[in-house]
Amino acid sequence: MERPELPLAQLHAFVVLAEELHFGHAAARLDIAQPPLSQQIRRLEDKVGHPLFDRGPRRVTLTPAGRELLPAARRALADLTAGLAAARAVGSGEAGRLRIGFAASLALTVLPGLLRTFRQRFPEVHLDIHEMTTAPQIAALHDETIDIGLLREPPADETELRFETVLSEPFVAVLPSAHPLSAGRTVRLSQLADSPFVLLPREAGPRLHDQITGLCAAAGFSPRIAQHAVEWQTVCALVRSGLGVSLAPASIRHIRLKGVAFRRIEPGTARTGVAVAWREGDQNPLVAHLLAAVGHDPAEEPPARRPSGRASRCSPRSR
């Protein structure tokens, strides 16, 4: 990439003069006096090495060399204005791309509303949404494959990630409709002690898995896991087919599946949380925007990175 030593001011003057073909008018459009314009053009011609205009007695004309340079100058100016505008839009978070990972169970609850409000506020922003369970989201956040995670029960030992709970919900028992316990409105956990369980594998989301087994332990038993499935949809289907019962966050009630009943757990104190996750100190303004959209106040955030002086330079830099 070479560097042509052509000040943009001169190119601008050149383009305007090429349109006006009249030094006086062009100077007026450029809001300068006429002699400076003559100088601009002359300097440009000196740099090019050849005249760009024929100064006829009564009219100014482009030379062939000028005609050759004109489209390039136009394109360059247009590219730069457009690029500058785009960069500013992206920099201010009015445009760009945000990659979001989300747990499948949220596709029917928090996700749609979030997308809707965000799109309304930032129509120029492209949202890439990827369904993934908790553990892959953590990994994807670390290697910057996604910028935002929507997940359940994040691990507590993450130092470079931050989490904010956006929703807390109770657990429900997932039973086949034919199951005797589905007759009542609620189920005591201990009543499931002898039933086989269908659960997500622990690797998909260790914290949630541990929470479920912990609940069972509190109720005095250790769940016998008959089958693993990586999606709640599948869990419900397996429950319906009689493979076992399950414990799940209440929002999976949105999975309407004939032959499956959801029953509140007794006691109802145990709750599971849905959190947004992001990289601590992520400079991408879209991350902040999305956090704001889910109700997180960015002011609670410490500056994290670059605390020395110019931590936040998005607004006009102070010296």
Residues that bind its own copies (CB under 8 A): 1-9, 11-12, 15-16, 19, 45-46, 48-52, 54-55, 63-69, 71-84, 86-92, 96-97, 283-284, 286, 306, 313-314, 316-317
Contact flag: residue 40 with DNA (CB under 7 A): yes
3 state DSSP class of 133: coil
Q: Does 43 bind DNA (CB under 7 A)?
A: yes
Residue 76, contacted partner among its own copies, DNA, none, CB below 5-8 A by kind: its own copies
Query: Which runs of consecutive H residues, i.e. helices, occur in 2-133?
Result: 8-20, 23-30, 34-48, 64-91, 110-121
CA proximity to 69, closest of 52, 55, 54, 49: 52
Answer positive or negative: Cα dihedral of 195, 198, 201, 205.
negative
Among residues 90 and 237, whose Cβ is nearest to its own copies?
Answer: 90
Question: Residue 80's binding partner, choosing from its own copies, DNA, none, with beta-carbon cut-off 5 to 8 A by kind?
Answer: its own copies
d(CA 115, CA 290): 9
Measured CA to CA, the distance from residue 174 to residue 193 in angstroms comes to: 14
Residue placing its CB nearer to DNA in the complex, 29 or 228: 29
The entry of DNA, its own copies, none near residue 73 (CB within 5 to 8 angstroms by kind) is its own copies
Applying CB under 7 A, does 41 fall inside the site for DNA? yes
Residue 137 CA, distance from chain mean position: 13
Q: Of DNA, its own copies, none, which one sits near residue 123, judging by CB under 5 to 8 A according to partner kind?
A: none
Q: Between residues 44 and 138, which has the closer beta carbon with respect to DNA? A: 44
Q: Which is nearer to DNA, 116 or 310 (CB)?
A: 310
Nearest 5°: CA angle at 203, between 202 and 206?
55
User: What's the min distance (Å) between Cβ of 39 and its own copies?
Assistant: 13
Interface with DNA (CB under 7 A), residue from 16, 28, 48, 60: 60
User: What are the CA-CA distances from residue 23 to residues 6, 42, 68, 98 (Å)?
Assistant: 20, 12, 20, 48
Options 35-43, 148-156, 233-241, 262-270: segment touching DNA (CB under 7 A):
35-43
Rule CB under 7 A: say whether 48 interacts with DNA.
Answer: no
The 283-312 site mask, x for binding DNA (CB under 7 A), equals -------------------------xxx--
185 binds DNA (CB under 7 A): no
Residue 284 site contact among DNA, its own copies, none (CB < 5 to 8 Å, cut-off depends on kind): its own copies
Of 52 and 239, nearer to DNA (C-beta) is: 52
Omega cis (within 30) before 201 = no
60 interface partner picked from DNA, its own copies, none, CB below 5 to 8 A per type: DNA
Cα–Cα distances in angstroms (integers) from residue 133 to residues 25, 42, 102, 119, in the given order: 65, 65, 7, 24
- The strand pair at 95-102 and 148-152 is best described as parallel
Task: Please answer whether residues 23 and 38 qualify as being in contact, where contact means their C-beta atoms are separated by less than 8 angstroms.
Answer: yes
Q: Tokens 């919900």 correspond to what residue?
A: 169
Which residues, including other chains, have CB under 8 Å from residue 171's CB and lie 6 or more apart?
Answer: 212, 215, 247, 248, 249, 250, 265, 270, 271, 272
**Site for DNA, rule CB under 7 A:** 5, 7, 9-10, 22-24, 30, 32-43, 53, 55, 57-58, 60, 308-310, 319
